Amino acid sequence: MTHSTRGRVRRVLAGGLATSTLAAAVLIAGAAPATAQSGLQDGPEPTIHTQQAYAPEDDFTAKWTRADARQLQRMSDPTAPSRENSMPASVTMPTVPQDFPDMSNEQVWVWDTWPLTDEDANQYSVNGWEIIFSLVADRNLGFDDRHVFAKIGYFYRPAGVPAAERPENGGWTYGGLVFKEGVTGQIFEDQSFSHQTQWSGSARVSKNGEIKLFFTDVAFYRNSDGTNIKPYDPRIALSVGKVKANKKGVTLTGFNKVTDLLQADGTYYQTGAQNEFFNFRDPFTFEDPAHPGETFMVFEGNSAMQRETATCNEADLGYRQGDPYAETVDDVNASGATYQIGNVGLAKAKNKQLTEWEFLPPILSANCVTDQTERPQIYFKDGKSYLFTISHRGTFAAGLDGPEGVYGFVGDGIRSDYQPLNGGSGLALGNPTNLNFLGGQPFAPDFNQHPGHFQAYSHYVMPGGLVQSFIDTIGTHDDFVRGGTLAPTVKMDIGVGGDPTKTAVDYSYGSEGLGGWADIPANKHLFTNGKFGVAVSDEAAQKIRKILGSKFDDYLDGKPVSATVRALIEKLLAQYGG
């Protein structure tokens, strides 16, 4: 279904607003020129990273340095004119059209979304239904007011249907909210919160249909004018429920209790007492093949320093000795860059129930680079560990600039001296962006900016390099449309040409690089009737359904089937189950 005028927010403003250009790089006055690498603008060389792995418990934190991040501006074409992309096409998401369908049929705003997965990040359908979780909010709210009213909802759709055969909006059915009102607020000792909300996380499914939903449980304490009475209180939390899926659709049960897992500690991860604008959210859990039987979690944090006295050092800047484009520590610290001290945290489960966790040191810091390392995830491929995270153009530190999108790092283990991808910049998949012009804000994009500058955000990298995200704003100052639904899925090739440090957009995927709208395909399929659970591959699921037809659905729904059919079902499940 395509958005109606009521279902989307459109701004059409007369005339345009000219803006000044941004500097292509921050240069030290009087510095001797350096010879630029082929295809790059003049600027510093990236930091040398070894990709060496360390034990998860070791006190080593990789650094995404200013020298690394300044490669973003070196990659940008300084001659790109108004409303044209200045970044390389290989790392740029194709432009999303303004006339997009709404996956919720105008029921809710939709943004951060994650699939139902196992410990290896395989994505599951259950009894023939694909299931996703999303942050949702009432469409009566303004789109930019949604964050303090966010709830976790879920969607489902038939599995195994090619994108070209689905309804244009992806074929999803909105199932409703996961939690009943009041459940997630119970963990806060101070019940005087003005707003209580739920933010992003991840969902793990067991073969019996149990779902462990990890998420960010948040309480705000604000005055009526929006100022803080005291800092907001985000906590990484867990709630457990079950999925019931039959021919009629999908329902969730349980999720009536929340377990408080982690609160920022002020040692590794900044607290509200250190900075009322701190970040602590977005748990993603996984198992590491190098450490079988252990479960880890990555999440977004900030380095644990006081906001007003934070400083960055030579290692945070990361310049090579004698680099004529290097900044000084004093200049960076005086620039205001110290307000941007994002990191990616690591925690380890202390029990099999995943209800007790301990902090480990961060695996990545971005001090004086960016304030936000949102929705981090670990992705394993060809013996390498990839760390993907997302960041905004507007959260880069003073003197740095780069597109909204996915930033990636590669190493030999989950704790490594991570090397930023693609020439040391870290940019894996960005929105079309012109770094020669200011960006504005999603609610007021710049006149000269590319229409896709804010088109997609909150990317999630799926098996096979598929990437889903949500639509924020498409267009420029005089003609733009707000989103609130999922964007087309795109495909990112990881390890291009056998080089693990390179990614590239697959423009042969879908239509000129854009796949199906809101397309989040399962690559594993769980069959359960409450007494057993078997997970099978795509190919096996198709074979079983072709052989058994509707009898299989009857069996999964607990309806009577003949002894012969039952025996055949159990034989096939035993044969194909993994």
Catalytic residues: 112, 374
Q: Is the dihedral of CA 45, 50, 54, 56 positive or negative?
A: positive
Task: Kindly state the helix (H) or strand (E) to which residue 571 belongs, with its residue range.
Answer: helix 563-576
Token readout for 270 is: 């900044």
Say how far apart CA 190 and CA 80 lie, in whole Å.
52
Say how far apart CA 409 and CA 418 lie, in whole Å.
5
> Phi and psi dihedrals of 544, rounded to 5?
-65, -45
Tell me 145's DSSP state. Answer: G
Q: Which residues are CB-neighbours of 352 under 8 A, at least 6 positions away?
A: none
Say how far apart CA 574 and CA 578 lie, in whole Å.
8
Written as one letter, the residue type at 351 is: N
Written as one letter, the residue type at 252 is: L
Task: Provide the 10 A C-beta neighbour count for residue 284.
Answer: 24
Closest by CA to 49, choosing from 38, 39, 60, is 60
Say how far apart CA 553 and CA 247 lie, in whole Å.
7
Tell me 93's DSSP state. Answer: P
Q: What residues form the annotated binding site for Ca(2+)?
A: 306, 371
Q: What residues form the annotated binding site for beta-D-fructose?
A: 57, 111-112, 168, 200, 281-282, 294, 374, 458, 511, 515, 517
Q: What residues form the annotated binding site?
A: 57, 111-112, 168, 200, 281-282, 294, 306, 371-374, 458, 511, 515, 517
491 with 483: CB under 8 angstroms?
Answer: no
Q: What residues form the annotated binding site for substrate?
A: 111, 200, 281-282, 372-374
Token readout for 229 is: 């009475």
- Residue bearing tokens 């709210």: 141
Closest by CA to 72, choosing from 54, 88, 96, is 88
